Every structure is written in structure tokens, then in C-alpha cells.
Amino acid sequence: MKSPVDILKAVRSFRYAGAGIYNLFRYENNARIHLMACLAVVIAGVFFQISLTEWMLITIQIGLVWAAEAFNTSIEKLADLVSAEYHPVIKVVKDTAAAGVLILAISAVIVGGIIFIPKVLIWF
Ligand SMILES: Nc1ncnc2c1ncn2[C@@H]1O[C@H](COP(=O)(O)OP(=O)(O)OP(=O)(O)O)[C@@H](O)[C@H]1O
């Protein structure tokens, strides 16, 4: 009887996704900026000993921004393949995909501000 779950296929999918993550941080400038911002937030989280709930909120925000960056990069690559020349529709496609990243990045900054600003203000 054929197994209902193809483990090898799942492992291969993980490998492909891993290659995607590697390419994202290796070649995409914005993804590297988000990686550095993430490291800064994790260091700040450890320094200020933030709560479990705050860690969960920050983890969700980081995941959302990275996922948006991955989708944005994927759309950009596909758009470049579809039309290397300037095209007004490609402009809308790329600008809208970038807007998705920006919206989630702003939300991450707001959440980070709500968590960290009161902790910094205690010093003053
Ligand atoms: N083929 C195109 N047709 C129309 N506008 C384009 C085209 N390529 C890029 N653009 C415009 O330039 C902007 C930047 O596009 P680009 O692909 O260089 O993205 P990027 O964010 O600089 O990413 P990367 O540096 O990773 O390639 C787009 O948001 C869009 O406004």
C-alpha cells in the first residue's frame, strides 16, 4: 500500500525552501537589512529581558517581514523574466509587492516601539 505521506518529497521541499532562504539573504540587500534589524531586536530583547508574550509578538513580526520579503523577491524575479524592458504594469506589480513589505515593516516597527520605548524611557 502506498504511504499517504511521501517523506522524501517533504524533505526535498525543505531543501528547496532552504535554498530559497539562502538566496534571499545572500543576494537581496533589503533582506540583509531586515536580518540585521532582527539581530538588533533579539539583542535588545535579551538585554531588556522581555516577557514570553513580547518574544512571541516579536517572532511573529519578524516572520511576517521575512515572509513578505521572500514573496516580494519572488515576484520581482518573475516580473524581470516576464519583462526585462520597462512596462507600466510591471511597475505596478513591483511597487505593490514592495508596498506589502513596507506595510509589514511599519507594523513591526510599531510593535517594537510599543515593547521597547517604555523600557528605554525608564532610564530617563
Ligand atoms: N521592468 C520594469 N518596468 C517598470 N518599472 C520597473 C521595472 N523594473 C523595475 N521597475 C521599477 O523600479 C523599482 C525597483 O525595482 P527593482 O526590481 O530594481 O527592485 P529592488 O527593490 O531595487 O530590488 P533588487 O535590487 O533586489 O532587484 C520597482 O518598484 C519599479 O517601480
Q: Give the position, in ligand 1's atom list, of the atom nearest the Cα of 76.
A: 17
- Angle between the N-to-C axes of helices 52-82 and 88-121, in degrees from 0 to 180, rounded to the nearest 10: 160
The answer to whether the CB of 28 is under 6 A from ligand 1 is yes
pTM of the entire predicted model? 0.89
Residue nearest ligand 1's atom 14 by CA: 94
User: Phi and psi for 6 in degrees, rounded to 5?
Assistant: -90, 95
Residue 3: its pLDDT value, please? 78
What domains lie within the chain, and their CATH numbers?
7-121 (1.10.287.3610)
d(CA 23, CA 56): 26
The secondary structure of residue 56, as a DSSP letter, is: H
Residue 13: its pLDDT value, please? 93
Residue 1: its pLDDT value, please? 64
- Give SS3 for 52: helix
Ligand 1 centre from 94 Cα, in Å?
6
Low-confidence stretches of the chain (pLDDT beneath 50): none
Q: Give the position, in ligand 1's atom list, of the atom nearest the Cα of 84.
A: 1
Q: Is 69 a catalytic residue?
A: yes
